[in-house]
Structures are given as C-alpha cells and as structure tokens.
Amino acid sequence: MIEDLETQNIELQLLLQAIYLKYGYDFRNYAKASIKRRIVHRLAKDGFENISAMQHRLLYDVSFFEKLLLDLSINVTEMFRDPSFYLAIRQKVVPILKTFPFLKIWHAGCSTGEEVYSMAILLQEEGLYKRTQIYATDMNEVALKQAKNGIFAINRLKQYTVNYQKAGGHESFSDYYAAHYDHAVMDKSLKENVLFSDHNLATDGVFGEMNLVMCRNVLIYFNRDLQNRAIGLFTESLCGGGILCLGSKESIRLLEHSSHFDDLVKEEKIYLKK
C-alpha cells in the first residue's frame, strides 16, 4: 500500500511536469493535497487505470487537457463574498482610494468575475468607478470568458442580494442586472472600465503601479514557494500607500515581503503597503 502511494505521488509529479512542458500551465507548486484530490477525482470519473494512463491521454488529446484544466482551476466564488470584507472596503479603504486622482485595481485570480462586479458596484456607489481602471486576470480562459460575459445563474442572485445588503449596499441590487429566465446578465456599465486578460501567478510578471490588489482565497491553494512568488508580484505591482486584500484564511505575516506591509484592517486581511 505504501509503495502504491509512493508510486502515485511520483506519477502525480510527472503529470504536473508534463502539463507544464506541453501546455505551459504550472501547477507544480500548488498545494499537493488539493491538486491530488482533483486528479484522483478525474481518474475515477473517466475510468483511468492510473495517473500514468491519464498523462498519456492529456499529452495527445488537447480536449481532455482542457477538461482537466477546469478540474485543476479553483473557481469557488460569489458576489460580495464575506460581506464584512466589503463593508470594511467601504468604511476603511474607500477614504484612502478617494485621495488618488486615478485608480488602478488588479483582481488577480478573478475566476468567473463575481468579485470583479462586486467591486465595480461598490466603486460606482462610492463615486469612484469613472476614474478607475480594473484589470481582472485569471489563468483559466473558460472562467475569464464567463467573467467577461457577466452572466450568472438566476438562482444565485438571492444570496448575492443578501450579501450586497450586508456589505453596506444602499441601492436596489436588482438595478445592477437584467433577469432572463434562468440567468442574470450584469449591467454593461459595470465592465466599461474592466480589462479581462490571461495571467498566471506561477509564471507571469508584475502589473505596475496598482493602487489596490485583490487576490482572495487563491493563496490557500499554493505551496509556500508559490505564495512567496505571488506576494512578491503584488509588492512590486503596488504603489506606495497601495492596498493588498487577501482571503479570510490567508495571511501575509509568515511570508517573504511581509515587512513591506502594515495591517489596515487586520481581521479582514487588508494590508497597506509602506
């Protein structure tokens, strides 16, 4: 049994190396337990004998790799997720943002875009959206396409509305989308100042002179080396006095570059670059 586990771990490393060499997606420094769960799930679902058989398939079948990529990309999100975080943005961060003549915001790992639209709504209500450029990036092209389309399942809008209200929203949330049968389309004004583009935190470079970087609930899927790489990118990308927002289960304090940041809203993992 131990030998089987060791063999499977070797197969997993070879699979991730094959993905990187063949397709350029680097999962080698993602948290192994999370990646392995997703690989084993696909293994069972498609009836492969072992990971090596799966590796052979993905090397010669692009469509299978694209399916596997969706398994490996983490796309768990919702609008105004963790409402207390967005309330803190309104109360503690917006006053700082209002001191800048023009705003540049980077949503790193934006997934299907729910948090991008959440921020656009908040900025619009606070009178900042017209002077803001948002860069929304992810490595998953399928997720990016959905984000750009701004179309979400209508049955999720009830929860999004509750989140919005708890986050300090003071308008009618239904004004921000149009309902069509089983889906909702976000108002096109919310993406006028949003540029959606491909970016991989494992392999790509910095975005310069950002006033705010949002990367929530992404670092928990990285190992320490990749976490340090990502924080390094954010540190270089932020201007002095810029703001970094991480997820509720993430912290900068045990990572490299933490000395560049002060706590702004400690309980919400919002940091101010010195």
Structural domain harbouring 143: 83-273
Same domain, yes or no: 93 and 60: no
77, part of any domain? no
Same domain, yes or no: 160 and 183: yes
The structure tokens 């108002």 sit at: 187
Into how many domains does the chain fold? 2
Residue 1 and residue 229: Cα distance in Å, rounded? Answer: 35
User: What pLDDT, in 10s, does the model give residues 83-129?
Assistant: 999 999 999 999 999 999 999 999 999 999 999 999 999 999 999 99
Same domain, yes or no: 243 and 133: yes
User: Tokens standing for 221?
Assistant: 């899927």
User: What pLDDT, in 10s, does the model give residues 245-268?
Assistant: 999 889 998 898 999 999 999 999
Same domain, yes or no: 35 and 122: no
Same domain, yes or no: 67 and 96: no
Q: Per DSSP, what are the bridge partners of residue 66?
A: none
The structure tokens 């948290």 sit at: 31
Orientation angle between helical segments 32-46 and 51-60, nearest 10 degrees: 80
User: Tokens standing for 140?
Assistant: 């998953």
Alpha-helical runs (H) found in the chain: 2-23, 32-46, 51-60, 62-72, 83-88, 94-97, 114-125, 141-149, 157-166, 224-237
Residue 1 is predicted with a pLDDT of: 44
Residue 12 and residue 274: Cα distance in Å, rounded? Answer: 41
Q: What are phi and psi of 172, to 5 degrees?
A: -85, 120
- Which of 152, 158, 153, 165 is closest to 83 using CA atoms? 165
- From 51, 72, 93, give the residue that closes a domain: 72
78, part of any domain? no
Same domain, yes or no: 182 and 94: yes
Residue 274 is predicted with a pLDDT of: 92
- From 40, 72, 104, give the residue that closes a domain: 72
Start-to-end Cα distance in the chain: 52
Residue 167 is predicted with a pLDDT of: 97
- From 72, 92, 111, give the residue that closes a domain: 72
Same domain, yes or no: 34 and 95: no
Same domain, yes or no: 153 and 45: no
CA distances to 2, 34, 170, 218 from 222, rounded to whole Å, are 26, 9, 36, 7
Residue 202 and residue 200: Cα distance in Å, rounded? Answer: 5
Torsion-angle region of residue 65: left (phi > 0), alpha (psi -120 to 50) or beta? alpha
Same domain, yes or no: 185 and 64: no
211, part of any domain? yes
Residue ranges in the chain modelled with pLDDT below 70? 1-3, 74-76
Same domain, yes or no: 148 and 199: yes
Same domain, yes or no: 120 and 208: yes
Residue 75 is predicted with a pLDDT of: 64
Residue 8 and residue 115: Cα distance in Å, rounded? Answer: 36
Q: What are phi and psi of 69, to 5 degrees?
A: -60, -40
Residue 74 is predicted with a pLDDT of: 63
CATH number for the domain that contains residue 115: 3.40.50.150
Same domain, yes or no: 142 and 181: yes
Which residues touch 251 (CB under 8 Å, ≥6 apart)? 269
Residue 8 and residue 29: Cα distance in Å, rounded? Answer: 17
